[in-house]
Structure 1
Amino acid sequence: MTFTVNCSILLTELPLLERPAAARAAGFDAVEFWWPFVSSVPGDAEVTRFERAITDAGVQLTGLNFNAGDMPGGDRGLVSWPGREAEFRDNADVVAGIGGRLGCTLFNALYGNRQDGHTPEFQDNLAVENLAAAAAAVGRIGGTVLLEPVSNAPYYPLRRAADALDVIGRVQRETGAGNVRLLADFYHLAVNGDDVDAVIEAHAADFGHIQIADAPGRGAPGTGNLPLERWIGRSRELGYAGRVGLEYTAAGESAFDWARRQPDWHVR
């Protein structure tokens, strides 16, 4: 199947560890998660419970975020956050361990907000170092680090595809890390005013991952006015061969009605 269900934003009526089974019951065979633990280095028992929820449900974990901090409180990643370097790198080892055991190879590293008391240049230099370290950690299992523009986060500096691609290019030039790629979230790009068609034409073959939600509202496909079917189809024509992450908000009972009504559009 083309899609992977983001169980951190969908099926939230259920406890976290029940969501993989619910995704399977809804007809999906793959899931992805934001960081599902409170701490960057959770205990072994916590990790085991999470992994068993995936395997017992019979779904594939296709994507996992590095710890991004207190997301409800406004944090948006540790990659460029001075003073949390050791924590981020310890987290990268845990992420790679989970990925290795579950066969997951895509790992989203949110860049982080601008921090008072530090220049953008200092934070950007730190981000290059941390992304290279993360790339090395997941590279041991054949993994890829994803970098994502984000909307509705005023202190997050990566707004458009070009912002993320500039960082990715710098990481590759300065460190040689070739496994950092763009996460093209069509919702975030569109809301931020990016030219999504142009991004697809120029970079689709090199996308590390695609995620979707409709706009306005960040709802399911068909609830807004974004041409998601066309964007996915064109990305595939240009070489994107990965899954598409469903990262929208919707009530559990109706979250996937659109896919049942239009079962073919996402695989063309």
Structure 2
Amino acid sequence: MFQLSPNIELLFTEAGPDAADRIRAAAAAGFDAVEMWGTLDKDITAIRTALDDTGVTMTSVIAEPRTNFTLPGTDLKPFFDGLDRGVENARRLGCPRIVLGSGIGFPGAKRAQNLDKLVEVFREAVSRTEGSGVKLVLEPVNTRVDHPGALLDRTAEAVAVARAVGADSFGILYDLYHSVTEGEDPAAVLADAGELVDYVQIADAPGRGEPGSGALDWAAQLRVLRESGYDGPIGLEYFPTVDTVTSVRHIREKLG
């Protein structure tokens, strides 16, 4: 059985605005892991205390700012400064990975040049974070519905970038919802991604709600994940269509 990790930016909001309170609510609902988005505006000490008190682990956080790279004359300092702080916060929280976005790319550059530039940027990111114990994972996102203009919208290109970066501390995040929404065949893209998949997130499609709210065959999709060799945690990054208690029940019916 996969370890399920609800996203506390979207779930357990009934517990209030503080991440620490949402972690405690997730623990009370029977979860032993959570994920969240950014850390730079969070009370890391309070979150660490909540994790320690409940025994819950943090499975992923997001690097900030979600830089929209530009070329020429690119100023990458905000990206690297934010990454340094985010990795340190992830380390303090015992979180093993931080998620990178591609931004919108470098305007004026051809797609191949954009991807080459990403490889250059992420190699530098790997060098800066070496020895931190925090893995960098690159997330492709769909451009059809949620992220118009994003550079990386295909799993295969994220895989190509990760292979070119060529570091054990760099992998990809495979988000089933983004992949299906973009029109990909999960079995095909996961077969090519192999060992580069370090983390998985899910939501149903269409709608990006909890599993069971859309049209995906969850027994089949979980089988695809298992057959790909993935056995890590699954982030529940979805917008609940019902209250959290009911939503959690739906999750366990579909994924338990």
- TM-score (norm. length: structure 1): 0.81
What percent of counterpart residues are identical? 32
Q: Which residue of 2 aligns with 1:162?
A: 156
Q: Which residue of 2 aligns with 1:73?
A: none
How far apart are 1:4 and its partner, in Å?
1.0
Gaps spanning 5+ residues in structure 2: where?
none
How far apart are 1:228 and its partner, in Å?
3.0
Q: 1-side partners of 2:123 and 2:245: how far apart?
A: 41
Q: Residue type matched to 1:4 in 2?
A: S
> Structure 1's 99 and 195: CA in aligned 2 closer, same or farther, altered over 3 A?
same
Q: Do the aligned residues in 2 keep the contact of 1:80 with 1:126 (CA within 8 Å)? A: no
How far apart are 1:115 and its partner, in Å?
5.6
Q: Which residue of 1 aligns with 2:198?
A: 208
- The reply to whether residue 78 of structure 1 matches residue 67 of structure 2 is yes
Q: Residue type matched to 1:61 in 2?
A: M
Q: Do the aligned residues in 2 keep the contact of 1:160 with 1:192 (CA within 8 Å)? A: yes
Q: 2-side partners of 1:204 and 1:224: how far apart?
A: 27
- The reply to whether residue 37 of structure 1 matches residue 40 of structure 2 is yes
- TM-score (norm. length: structure 2): 0.84
Q: Do the aligned residues in 2 keep the contact of 1:80 with 1:124 (CA within 8 Å)? A: no
Q: Which residue of 2 aligns with 1:198?
A: 188
Q: 1-side partners of 2:110 and 2:49: how far apart?
A: 41
> Structure 1's 15 and 57: CA in aligned 2 closer, same or farther, altered over 3 A?
farther
> Structure 1's 241 and 168: CA in aligned 2 closer, same or farther, altered over 3 A?
same
How far apart are 1:165 and its partner, in Å?
1.3
Q: Do the aligned residues in 1 keep the contact of 2:138 with 2:172 (CA within 8 Å)? A: yes
Q: 2-side partners of 1:178 and 1:80: how far apart?
A: 25
2:253 pairs with 247, 255, 261, which one?
A: 261
Q: 2-side partners of 1:84 and 1:49: how far apart?
A: 33
How far apart are 1:160 and its partner, in Å?
1.4
SS of corresponding position for 2:223: helix
2:55 pairs with 54, 58, 63, which one?
A: 58
Kindly tell me the number of residue pairs found equivalent between the two proteins. Answer: 245
Correspondence 1:1-268 to 2 at 5 A: 2-13=3-14, 14-17=16-19, 18-38=21-41, 46-67=43-64, 69=65, 77-78=66-67, 80-81=69-70, 83-114=74-105, 118-120=108-110, 123-151=114-142, 152-172=146-166, 177-250=167-240, 251-262=243-254, 265-266=255-256
How far apart are 1:126 and its partner, in Å?
4.0
How far apart are 1:19 and its partner, in Å?
1.2
Q: CA RMSD in A?
A: 2.4
> Structure 1's 169 and 120: CA in aligned 2 closer, same or farther, altered over 3 A?
same
How far apart are 1:86 and its partner, in Å?
1.3
Q: Residue type matched to 1:88 in 2?
A: F
SS of corresponding position for 1:189: helix
Q: 1-side partners of 2:218 and 2:139: how far apart?
A: 18
Gaps spanning 5+ residues in structure 1: where?
70-76
